[in-house]
Structure formats: C-alpha cells, structure tokens
Structure 1
C-alpha cells in the first residue's frame, strides 16, 4: 500500500523509540564508554540487522524508501520486537495487507439488538475507534456517564481517559488504560490518514496528561478478551470476564460481552 509522509514519520519515530530501549550489553555488543543518548546507536542497529547504516538512517528519517520483508524481519529481530510490535512495524512500512476501509453502513438492526438480548450481562457493539454503536442497560450502569450530552456517540476510549469517574470504576485503571492506548496506537497506524483516528488521538492528547506521557513510548497491542475488575455502586468490586467477537462481514465492528467471574468485594 502507498504510504503517506505521516506514516513514514511514524515509522521513523517507532524505530527510534525501540532502538533507545536496548542497551549495547543486551544486544551483545562491547561497551564503548559513556553515551550521550540511551540505547543503541544507528550504526550499531544497522550492524546487527545486516544493513547499511546510511540506508537505515534514511529509513529512520522518514525518507520515501521501501523496505523488504527480509529487512523488516531483520530489524524486528535486532530490536527484539514483540509479535504485536512486529506487525505494527510492517504496517507502518507498508508491507502488510492494506486494512479494510472503514464501514460507513448503519449498524444492522439485528446486530444492534444483540446487546439487548444479552441483558443483564453488560454488552455493547463498538467500531474501530471504540465508538459505542449499541449497548444495553447493564453496560450503561457498569460504565456510568458513558453516554454524554454533547450529541456525540459514546466512546470507550474518551470515557476511560477523559471521564474522571472512570478512574474510580476501573479498579486497575493505569494498566487497563495503557493497554487500551496501545490498541488505539496500533489501529491508528493501520489507518494512517483516517481523520477519525487523528481526531481521537488529538482529543486524547488535549485532555489527558497520561496520553501525552505514554504516547511517545510507542506501545502497541491488539483487541482481545480478558478479565477486568470494575467497581459497582452498592456492590463493591466485581470481577468480569469479557469476550470480543467481530461482526460477520464487518471486521471493524466488535461485540463485547461481560460476565461476572467472581463475587463482589471492597
């Protein structure tokens, strides 16, 4: 797929952030004394990946050059990237299959009705930017103030970072929020140039000091199920298992269902 200048800059910034977190000792290189900056030098990373230092510098500077799968694999290995980070690297480099275009079709009535059928279990349908397209009463009670009065669709990312009550509701707020932001970064990278993601990221930066601190760390992740502890009025802390399902034929839309996995407590 064609890459925008923004995507090339993002690739360079991602490479720099990952290069900075690896010490020469971790990479098996001899110590060369005091360093002005943390992590590996460009020349050292190029050596480990088996490529020209000049060519790697061009890549990190965001120049319009193409990296082969073999080169990206070598960089991923040298940088010790996780599977999610490797996928993100390939997306930014334009080597992964192009993401499907956003689905602008209205949510089908039979899909919108599914969360209602799952009451009393909290359930909702979200799109790729975490806009909530359909939800049941249990979801509204579990995530209070999710629905705002500004006329916009409720959004779970905005709620997590910009709604003060979320920090009380989500018991393990910081790790949950960091994981959510990592998934947003991955999606934004896959949809470079999509104004929906640009607007969301800009709004998060404006309203959240944590986003401004964490975003430069270039953490990436994927949407998945798991376990979450939420504080419920009158019940204390409730542990939920949650599962996510893609809507058939609309991979950007996801049904998320919560089920209690334990008793309530303080």
Structure 2
C-alpha cells in the first residue's frame, strides 16, 4: 500500500522522541498532570505551572531536588530501579505508564527496534481464509500492511486504508465512522506512545508528520499518556450497514517483529453478527465484481 505521509516534518518535531532525553520529557509531561491535592499537598494558589513542582516530585520520590532536575534536563541518564519506582509512585503512574517509565529509564533497552514491513506469504493466506471476520496486519507506526476483503469493506469509505493514525486524524470520514471519535483518538495515541519506548524509524516519521498536520494529535501526544491496546469494544457507523459494535483483539506475530494481527469479532446471534454477515456479502460482491472486471 502506498504511503503519502511525509517521511519527516520540521526538525523540531523530533524533540520528544530524542532518545537522549526521552526520560526527562516524560517526567516533565506527567508531572504537569498530577494535582497537589492528589498527593496530599496543599493548593497554595501561587503556582505558575500546572501540576507538581520539581521539588515536590523529588520529595515524594525520595531523591534530592538537584538530582531530579538533572533527570528532567537529561544531564542524569542512569537512574536506579529504586529511583524509577519512587518516581512512578510520586507521579501516580498506572501499570502501563510505569512500565513505559522503566523502559525509557534504562539506556541499555533503547536500541532501535528491529522491524519488518514485509508480510509473509503464509500470513497473507491466513488473512484470505478468514472469511467471517475483518482482519488486517498492522506494522510500525500503525501502517496497514495487508488486509482481507472484509476489512477492506469495513473501512471502504476512507480515502485510503493505509495507516490507522492518518485515517483517524487526517481523514474527514473518521468523525463519522467512529461513534466516539475523541475516545478513538485518545486510545490510538496512548497505544502509539506505548510503542515508542523502544523506537523504530517509521513510528518517528508518523509522529513527525501528524504533529505538523494535526493539532488534535499534537495536543494528545504532548500529554504523554501511555496504554497499549490489546483488546477493546469498538463502535462504528458504517455507510452501508449503519451502526455496528465489534470486539477488537490484537494478536502478536512472533515471526515478524513490529507486526500484529488486528481482528474484529461479534457475539454469535447479536445484531453485530448480522452486520458482519452483511459486510461479508458486500465483500463477496466486491470480489466478484473485481473478477468480472479483470476478465473483461
């Protein structure tokens, strides 16, 4: 599939993905999200910035203010496991965000991740044999690398079924397709952020392009919220079948680092199952028409 997102935006976009200060960027962003009241500190009404002050985070984490400042500024790059645990507690990080903190806080784990965008022939055959459910392979930066006919029909109203993030943030149809676009956007960005602890070039390109072209993406990306997406219920408005609610599962492809299989299913006997049956009929008609056209 073609990619039309620019490979690189202005030089400044790479700031928050600079591996030299990924930890400091994350700490600063998450510090701004914690209210003093949340950690039992008084609201004194004189704060110039939202969230906690650096000295307050240092106190809560059990480190000196100078040491914490050096962490945020990137002048200290080797915190201990104990320090990271203290920071996770001070910043009230949930399990996913804390795991992200530990990964970016350990320099030995920041090597560029090996990825592949080639979809193996057996996997393509598997997709083609999945006739009852939409399924597609997603690669680095949320590129859609391959899809079965049912997935193509599910997303048919988008200008291109090529990159899930581009589709959400840059394609006007997204706000009609997703019943709750705001939630879909938040989930997508949190999931992308979770993948950046171990970076890859394509993800950096996508972040750069969307930061420049989508204020909504840039705003969500700056929040540094982290939550990998493994399963969830999705609510769509499809132009042919109307409202449909499907269950999403993300399946890791062990033989292809950086790739996963996305699958949508429906409860048997439900309205969603009826919707999938209709989509299956539409997909079959599409394949038949394509065969007739090629034969002519």
What is the TM-score with the length of structure 2 in the denominator? 0.79
CA drift of 1:21 comes to 2.1
Deviation readout 1:149-193 (Å, 9 max, x if unpaired): xxxx811111111111122111111101111011112212321xx
Of residues 106, 118, 131, the one that matches 2:118 is: 106
State the distance in 2 between where 1:142 and 1:16 align.
Answer: 40
Q: CA RMSD in A?
A: 2.4
Q: Cα 1:210–1:28, aligned 2, differ >3 Å: closer, same or farther?
A: same
CA drift of 1:59 comes to 0.3
Deviation readout 1:9-52 (Å, 9 max, x if unpaired): 33212111221222333212345452222222111111111111
Greater RCO (Cα-Cα under 8 Å, separation 6 or more): 2
The answer to which of 25-34 and 114-123 deviates more is: 25-34
Of residues 146, 152, 155, the one that matches 2:163 is: 155
Is the contact made by 1:5 and 1:62 (CA closer than 8 Å) also made in structure 2? no
The answer to which of 92-101 and 41-50 deviates more is: 92-101
Task: Tell me, yes or no, if structure 1 residue 181 matches structure 2 residue 189.
Answer: yes
Look up the SS of the partner of 2:100 in the other structure. Answer: helix
- Counterpart of 1:70? 82
Is the contact made by 1:241 and 1:259 (CA closer than 8 Å) also made in structure 2? yes
State the distance in 1 between where 2:93 and 2:22 align.
Answer: 16
Task: Tell me, yes or no, if structure 1 residue 129 matches structure 2 residue 135.
Answer: no
- Counterpart of 1:168? 176
CA drift of 1:5 comes to 8.8
Q: How does 1:78-93 map to 2 (within 5 A)?
A: 78-93=90-105
Q: Cα 1:95–1:73, aligned 2, differ >3 Å: closer, same or farther?
A: farther
State the distance in 2 between where 1:239 and 1:47 align.
Answer: 47
State the distance in 1 between where 2:67 and 2:145 align.
Answer: 45
**Long gaps (5+) in structure 2:** 1-15, 275-296
The answer to which of 11-20 and 99-108 deviates more is: 99-108
Q: Cα 1:117–1:61, aligned 2, differ >3 Å: closer, same or farther?
A: same
Structure of larger gyration radius:
2
Of residues 121, 146, 151, the one that matches 1:139 is: 151
What is the TM-score with the length of structure 1 in the denominator? 0.87
Deviation readout 1:81-135 (Å, 9 max, x if unpaired): 0111111111221267457832337321011121211123111111132111211
State the distance in 2 between where 1:168 and 1:15 align.
Answer: 36
Look up the SS of the partner of 1:44 in the other structure. Answer: helix
State the distance in 2 between where 1:30 and 1:103 align.
Answer: 47
Task: Tell me, yes or no, if structure 1 residue 12 matches structure 2 residue 24.
Answer: yes
Look up the SS of the partner of 2:235 in the other structure. Answer: strand
Of residues 190, 196, 208, the one that matches 2:198 is: 190
